[in-house]
Structure 1
Amino acid sequence: MKLNTYETIYILKPDINEENNLNLVNEYKNQIMSCGGKNIFIQHRGRRHLSYNINNYYDGIYIQMNYEGSSKIIQKLEKSMRLDINVMRYLTIKQDNIKEVIT
């Protein structure tokens, strides 16, 4: 089975403490691994100002995850994020494998 490459970016509420932040990141990483995902790369993008307020928040904590997996992972991950009160927004995109040719 061919695995696709995905990128998920989600925004956490700015008033979440560091321990809960790390717990959420690890929970989502474990969900990806339990569904057969691999090559998981997580970047904390930090606290950033939002272009518009979301639920009266003007800042958010951005987390980016890159990984390989099947579409089943996306369904499970996004359902979990939708139900989590600490996640304000999330977006998953499928990345096309772009190979650079060096001449």
Structure 2
Amino acid sequence: METTKYEITYIIRPDLDDAAKTALVERFDKILTDNGAELINSKDWSKRRFAYEIGGFNEGIYHVITLNATDDKGLNEFDRLAKINDSILRHMIVKRED
């Protein structure tokens, strides 16, 4: 099977303490790896101010994951769980061409 490179960017609530944020990131990284994805990089981008309010917040912590996957099983599970997690304000999954 051919691997495809993806990038996931998600925004974490700014009011989470460091331990909760670390646990959240590790949980979502594990969701991807448990479903066959190979993480290349998982890092905080920065805390940024929004152009408009999202979920009552004016800023959020951006986290970026770069990964390789042979199928979309891990991505679908990430997407499903990110939609119902209150600590993730927004997320976006992009297929990379490089």
Contact 2:39–2:65, Cα closer than 8 Å, also in 1: no
Shift of 1:43: 1.6
The aligned counterpart of 2:4 is 4
Unmatched segments (≥5 aa) in structure 1: 98-103
- Superposed, which structure 2 residues align to 1:68-87 within 5 Å? 68-69=68-69, 70-87=71-88
Larger radius of gyration: 1
Aligned to 1:2, the other structure's residue is in SS state coil
TM-score (norm. length: structure 2): 0.93
2:56 matches 1:56: yes
TM (norm. structure 1) is 0.89
In structure 2, the partner of 1:24 is: 24
Tell me the distance in 1 between the aligned counterparts of 2:54 and 2:32.
27
Structure 1 segments of 4 or more deviating over 4 A?
none
Q: What secondary structure sits across from 1:32 in the alignment?
A: helix
Q: What residue ranges of structure 2 are gaps of 5+ in the alignment?
A: none
**RMSD of aligned C-alpha atoms?**
1.0
1:43 aligns with 2:43: yes
Partner of 1:101: none
Matched residues in 2 for 1:6 and 1:43: separation? 14
1:23-61 deviations in whole A, cap 9, x for unaligned?
Answer: 011111111111111143012012110111112210101
Task: Give distance in 2, aligned partners of 1:80 and 1:26.
Answer: 14
Overall identity of the aligned pairs, in %: 21
Task: Number of aligned residue pairs: give it.
Answer: 97
Counterpart Cα distance in 1 of 2:91 and 2:36:
21
